[in-house]
Structure 1
Amino acid sequence: MPGVVDFAEALTKAVDDSGLSLERIQHHLAARGMQVSLSTLSYWRRGRSRPERPESLKVVAALEELLHLDGGFLTDRLGDRRPRGRWVGQAMSLEDMWDSRATDLGEVISRIDRLQPTASTYLTVKDRQVIGPDRREVEMHCTGVVQALEDGVDRFLAIQLADAADLGVATIEAGAPCRLGRVRSEDATGFLVAEVLFDRVLRAGETALVDYTVRMRPGADSEVCDRRFLRPVGDYVLQIDFHPDAVPARCYRFARPSLHEPETALSDLWIGTTASTHIHVRNSKPGIYGVRWEWE
């Protein structure tokens, strides 16, 4: 394919030349033990996302064989892993925080035409999770201070993933001084991705207040709440408010550098007379910080 240098263009031409539909390509890949969605293949063709995870790169190698291309023809056109700004060295990847679900998340994000991580970071953030009398999540109220890492930042992306037992994807509302921009959700993957817009455009180093509430649709007892940070955060507070009629038997905190590593910093938490508990994390590295509890 003379003159073809872009991965998306090369893949599109190879698929067209093969005469195979994306459904047939998906079927052939599945026969080789590789599960990839039609939407992923479509986004790769259109250049709205591209393979970066090791599992995805194996699919690309299989596509080269399936489409009768020279080995490395598609892979070589991926180039280096896409940078996402000068701040990228400080950030974790989506794969670190969401593991195999990162591809699904990337596809939802791509429909907003902005890629994570955005050019901002939390200086402080507080999450307040409310658990109802039926032991199920009611809502998460999030407030914080966000600092721009580059000029021109006017929003960030809020991400929520439904549990496997949930009845549907969560909903989101913004509080003053924020407002919602584009919101995308998918029942198939369980992801909610929403733009939370600041009240002004920030220059590098400037800050904005954020306020939003996520309301869940739980289908089973809740047992864990966590926050996933792609970059360092100065101050993080996670408060869990249990209903007085639904107080767990045990509650403990945990931390996890990424989904590829085990939970650490396990310690019991006291549940106070108001049926509430919390964790406070200062100057934390990127990672997952949360609270687990047991009902019996």
Structure 2
Amino acid sequence: MNVHSPGRDAPAALDQVLRTGPFHLALRTAIEARGLALHRVRHRLAQRGIHIGVTSLSYWQQGARRPARAESLRAVRALEEVLGLPPESLLRLLAPAGGGGQERPASRSYQTLFADSAVLRVLLAELGSPPDGGLHTLDHWERVRIGPGRQLLTRSSQQAVRAHRDGVDRYLAIHHGDPGCTPGRVRVRADENCRVGRVRWSAGTAIVVTELLFDTRLRSGETHVFGYTFEDGTGGACQEYVRGFSFGGGRYVLQVGFDAGQLPVRCHSFARTSAAARPSGAQELPLSGVNRTVHLVRADAGPGILGIGWEWP
């Protein structure tokens, strides 16, 4: 087998992601650069005495699982050889961030969480977003308000985050409006411990990405609490609200409030492993008649998608 140097032959993107991570994106980029299907990767690993399934390889490159056990780390070392990568180039991305700092939790690529991921990728690139924003959520309270026209009026978030690398000073908040949304009219308000920076949006997909700037640079392991609100009201009838989590492990509380003159007849919570997956784990949710709200609580959310859906009369 001819082993090529990624510094000479692989796309520049591979060089970059091998330096910055995260692991799953580096692995996926390396496999794509070599033009190998996962079953061929599995076969070449088997030739070296490493037996691992295509499903596990798929989970690793999606960020749904991280290799941690000794036999898995041996497989990663063999993958470096199979893919013609420098020794330790993948293994070091599995080490705790910052050399003994905060360990990055299990993650999943944002591309699996958004149906319009190609557009989102362009917007994030305009804001100079690295593959891994360097933050994962510890606690997230979100309040959504539905208006008298059945439209999403506002969504407010209060988040506690932890940095898993040094130098993080911002958070990129993503809003995906309902059909009919006019993203140019969506407004973003910084409520606490942040300020609004650059804003990018796509009219065709109703996606708005906002840069929320902190007044401090976080070191690995440090935490930050901040709040912000998207003011929309431009879309059509809203029938569900979903939140995608690139990283797992945090607590998530979602509350949806309805106008007194427009109450749904049925509400339920659900989960999805990706934007393209079918909903699973549906549970009926009681609607509070007094407060006209419905909510869900997940102690260990993500990676993946959580949401509340409802039916209008």
Partner of 1:138, secondary structure, is: strand
Aligned to 1:189, which of 164, 180, 205? 205
Show the counterpart of 2:237: 221
Amino acid of the structure 2 residue aligned with 1:280: V
Range moving further from structure 2, 109-118 or 249-258 = 109-118
2:134 corresponds in structure 1 to 119
Q: Does 1:284 align with 2:312?
A: no
State how far apart, in whole Å, the 2-side matches of 1:160 and 1:116 are.
19
Structure 1 residue 144: deviation in Å?
1.3
Take 2:191 and 2:183, find their aligned partners in 1: how far apart are those partners? 23
Which residue number in structure 2 is paired with residue 165 of structure 1? 180
Q: TM-score under structure 2 normalisation?
A: 0.66
State which of 155, 168, 171 in structure 2 corresponds to 1:140. 155
SS of the equivalent of 1:265 reads: strand
Residue 205 of structure 1: which of 221, 238, 261 is its match?
Answer: 221
Question: Following TM superposition, by how much is the alpha carbon of 1:94 offset from its aligned partner in structure 2, in angstroms?
Answer: 2.0
CA distance in 2, matches of 1:248, 1:116: 39
Q: State whether residues 117 and 230 of structure 1, in contact with CA within 8 Å, keep that contact through their aligned partners in structure 2.
A: no
- For 2:257 and 2:128, locate their aligned partners in 1 and report how far apart those are by CA, in whole Å: 36
Aligned residues of 1:124 and 1:233 also touching (Cα < 8 A): no
- Residues 1-296 of structure 1: matches in 2 within 5 Å? 5=9, 7=11, 90-99=106-115, 101-169=116-184, 170-272=186-288, 273-296=290-313
The ranges of structure 1 where at least 4 consecutive aligned residues each deviate by more than 3 angstroms after the TM superposition are 3-9, 83-89
Measured in 2, the distance between the counterparts of 1:88 and 1:205 equals: 10
Q: 2 CA distance for matches of 1:131 and 1:201?
A: 36
CA deviations on 1:118-143 (whole Å, 9 max, x unpaired) are: 11111000110011112111100110
The answer to whether the Cα contact below 8 Å between 2:177 and 2:235 also exists between their aligned partners in 1 is: no
SS in 2 for 1:291: strand
Checking the alignment, whether the CA contact within 8 Å between 2:105 and 2:249 is kept in structure 1 is: no
Query: Once the two structures are superposed, what CA deviation does each residue of 1:81-107 show, in whole Å capped at 9, x if it has no partner?
Result: 9x89957772111221014x1111110
Query: 1:279 and 1:293 mapped to 2: Cα distance?
Result: 13
TM-score by length of 1: 0.70
Hey, what's the Cα distance between the residues in 2 that align with 1:149 and 1:126? 21
Aligned to 1:110, the other structure's residue is in SS state helix
What's the offset of the Cα at 1:261? 2.7
- Partner secondary structure for residue 123 of structure 2: helix
* Shift, 1:219, TM fit: 3.2
Bigger mean CA offset, 140-149 vs 260-269 = 260-269
Q: Percent identity?
A: 29
Deviations 1:147-168 (CA, angstroms, capped at 9, x unpaired): 1111211111101122232233
Structure 2: distance between partners of 1:103 and 1:88: 25
**Cα distance, 1:254–1:168 mapped onto 2, change above 3 Å:** same
- What amino acid maps onto 2:269 in structure 1? R
CA RMSD of aligned residues (A): 3.1
Q: Is the 8 A contact 1:244 1:274 kept in 2?
A: no
Task: For structure 1, list consecutive stretches of 5 or more residues without a partner in the other structure.
Answer: 10-51, 61-75
Distance 1:243 1:217 in 2: 13
Q: Which runs of 5+ in 2 are unaligned?
A: 1-6, 14-27, 36-82, 98-102
- 2-side partners of 1:249 and 1:116: how far apart? 41
Per-residue CA deviations over 1:68-88 (Å, capped at 9, x if unaligned) read: xxxxxxxx9xx999x899577
- d(CA) in 1 for partners of 2:261, 2:178: 23
Number of residue equivalences: 233
